[in-house]
Amino acid sequence: MNKRLIYFLLSILCLLIGVGLYYFFKKDVLVYESFIGLKKMNTRGYSFANWLPDLCWEISFLFMLSAIWGNWQLVPNSMKLLTLAVIMGTELVQMLGWLPGTGDIKDILVYFIGFSIFTLLFLINRPKQNL
Q: What residues line the site for another protein (CB under 8 A)?
A: 22, 28-35, 53-54, 57-58, 61, 64-65, 68-69, 75, 79, 82-83, 86-87, 90-91, 94, 99-102
Nearest C-alpha neighbor of 84 from the set 53, 118, 50: 118
Crossing angle of helices 52-69 and 3-25, rounded to 10°:
160
Written as one string, the DSSP assignment of 83-112 is HHHHHHHHHHHHHHTSSSS---HHHHHHHH
Instruction: Indicate the residue among 69 and 112 with the shorter CB distance to another protein.
Output: 69
Taking the complex as a whole, how short is the minimal distance between the CB of residue 28 and another protein, in angstroms? 4
Instruction: Indicate the residue among 1 and 76 with the shorter CB distance to another protein.
Output: 76
Residues near 47 by beta carbon (within 8 Å), at least 6 away in sequence: none
Taking the complex as a whole, how short is the minimal distance between the CB of residue 40 and another protein, in angstroms? 11
Taking the complex as a whole, how short is the minimal distance between the CB of residue 8 and another protein, in angstroms? 11
Instruction: Indicate the residue among 98 and 124 with the shorter CB distance to another protein.
Output: 98
Task: Tell me how far apart the alpha carbons of residues 87 and 31 are, in angstroms, rounded to a whole number.
Answer: 19
Taking the complex as a whole, how short is the minimal distance between the CB of residue 89 and another protein, in angstroms? 8
